[in-house]
Amino acid sequence: MTADFVLAGTGSRSLRVAPHEVQVEAMHRCTEAVAARVLEHGSRLVVMSGAAEGWDELLARVAIRLGVRLHLMLPSRSYAAYYWGRASVLERDRTAEFAEIQAAAWKVTFVAEQILGTTALKVDGLHINFHRNLIMVETADSFVVWDPTSRGTAHCVEAIRRAGKWRDDMVLGPGPLSDQQTLPIGTVSGTHRPAEAMRH
């Protein structure tokens, strides 16, 4: 049996409050990147999302929309209640929206409880969110990255580099890409679909 190909994402939560046109462009680029991997890997493809608002959320929604298996890699069981609830970047309770994404996932992993065997927020001096990043880097074959300069994303990018998995073309934005990096907007597996920004 051929092994799965895992495409993970890392990116800024702030994408969720970025200008509409930035969110639309991010949606285009994310969709094209995932669609290209579908063409390359077919049913072997698994999309892994760290389950944060913003880029992780967009990647998860794109995977669901394209019918790709979605693996949510959550730092802990309490993550969604805090980061999609009390600390949402939209300053409202979005836990019901997250629950819809979680229900559509092929697999859900809670790093603290299921991998590290703890409910602590820090392990060996490192916040559990960063442990989630390290597990994703260890597991994934490739990445799609949005805004590699943001704090959490920069931590994950550094881990990708240390693991020898980094490629410059993993960065999809923000900002313009070269013609070689940009895929035709709206093309998904040979068909054309209308632009659709992150829902809700």
Q: Which positions of the chain have pLDDT values less than 70?
A: 1, 175-200
Is there a domain that residue 42 lies in? Answer: yes
Going from the C-alpha of 105 to that of each of 46, 64, 129, 151, 183, the distances in angstroms are: 11, 8, 20, 26, 27
Is there a domain that residue 182 lies in? Answer: no
> The CATH number of the domain where 147 resides is what?
3.40.50.450
In this prediction, residue 120 carries a pLDDT of 96
Question: How many separate domains does the chain show?
Answer: 1
What does the alpha-carbon distance between residue 14 and residue 29 come to, in Å, rounded to a whole number?
A: 17
Given phi > 0 = left and psi -120 to 50 = alpha, else beta, which region is 191? beta
Is there a domain that residue 71 lies in? Answer: yes
Is there a domain that residue 13 lies in? Answer: yes
Is there a domain that residue 97 lies in? Answer: yes
In this prediction, residue 1 carries a pLDDT of 60
Q: What is the CA radius of gyration of the chain?
A: 16
With a CB cutoff of 8 Å and minimum separation 6, the contacts of 95 are 80, 81, 84, 85
In this prediction, residue 152 carries a pLDDT of 80
Residue 44 lies in domain: 5-177
pTM of the full predicted structure? 0.85
Q: Per-residue pLDDT tens for 66-101?
A: 999 999 999 999 999 999 999 999 999 999 999 999
Is there a domain that residue 21 lies in? Answer: yes
